[in-house]
């Protein structure tokens, strides 16, 4: 993507301001930032939930604005995409024979996320996009899932909007957003070593909160 700009209405201010980055096939990219920084908006732009302002997002040489919304969002553009998020759970009535009502209202958020993550494992698309995919899952289960994804999607391109910072520590690159602007795009360890780095501060804050929670 080049100079990506997003606004929700023609008369509203930009919520993403000139984001430029290149993701190579097989890269693992972690999108980080504080609440409201624009992480989910960037993920949404990949699926045209909101349209860019005069700029393009190119995936495998294809301008996504030329792809039908159904194909783009359902994973039919050459087997590339899989959304793993809270919404959009299937109404599966077989398998474990658990009745799932509309919108999975009889499932917890954690159950919905596990279901969608399992679907991603079965579909094995070449690009996996995760938006806060394990926020409602306990830490122990999250560790198991992360290990599984590292093994099963080692050859895939993975783009993750991360809530738990350790999730992206071994990723190819971290894309750090602040107030809708890309402020850092580099390898995680390079950013941790950099004084004043946003990612470094987020790592420090995460572990500070984690240790505080463990002590109570």
Name the 3-class secondary structure at 164.
coil
- Rounded to whole angstroms, how far apart are CA atoms 114 and 120? 10
- What is the model's pTM? 0.79
Domain boundaries, the chain: 24-52+70-214
| H-helix segments, the chain | 39-46, 69-74, 109-123, 139-152, 188-193, 198-214
- Rounded to whole angstroms, how far apart are CA atoms 137 and 46? 25
Task: For residue range 156-185, list pLDDT tens digits in order.
Answer: 898 988 878 888 999 999 999 999 999 999
Q: Is the dihedral of CA 9, 15, 17, 22 positive or negative?
A: negative
Percent above pLDDT 70 for the chain: 77
Q: Which CATH class is domain 24-52+70-214?
A: alpha beta
Does 82 score more than 60 pLDDT? no
Task: For residue range 110-160, list pLDDT tens digits in order.
Answer: 676 677 777 777 777 788 888 866 666 677 777 777 788 788 888 889 898
- Rounded to whole angstroms, how far apart are CA atoms 37 and 41? 9
Given a contact cutoff of 8 angstroms between Cβ atoms, the answer to whether 130 and 102 are in contact is no
């Amino acid at each position: 993507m080049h100079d990506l700009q997003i606004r929700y209405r023609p008369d509203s201010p930009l919520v993403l301001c000139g984001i430029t980055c290149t993701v190579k096939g097989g890269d693992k990219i972690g999108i980080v930032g504080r609440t409201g920084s624009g992480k989910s908006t960037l993920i949404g732009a990949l699926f045209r939930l909101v349209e860019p302002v005069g700029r393009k997002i190119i995936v495998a040489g294809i301008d996504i604005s030329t792809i039908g919304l159904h194909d783009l969002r359902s994973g039919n553009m050459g087997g590339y995409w899989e959304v793993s998020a809270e919404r959009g759970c299937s109404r599966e009535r077989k398998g474990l024979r658990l009745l799932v009502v509309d919108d999975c209202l009889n499932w917890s958020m954690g159950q919905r996320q596990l279901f969608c993550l399992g679907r991603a494992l079965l579909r094995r698309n070449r690009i996996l996009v995760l938006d806060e995919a394990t926020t409602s899952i306990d830490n122990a289960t999250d560790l198991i899932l992360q290990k599984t994804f590292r093994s099963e999607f080692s050859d895939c391109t993975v783009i993750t909007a991360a809530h738990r910072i350790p999730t992206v520590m071994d990723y190819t690159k971290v894309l750090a957003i602040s107030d809708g602007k890309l402020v850092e795009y580099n390898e995680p360890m390079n950013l941790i070593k950099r004084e004043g780095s946003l990612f470094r501060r987020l790592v420090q804050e995460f572990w500070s909160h984690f240790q505080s929670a463990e002590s109570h």
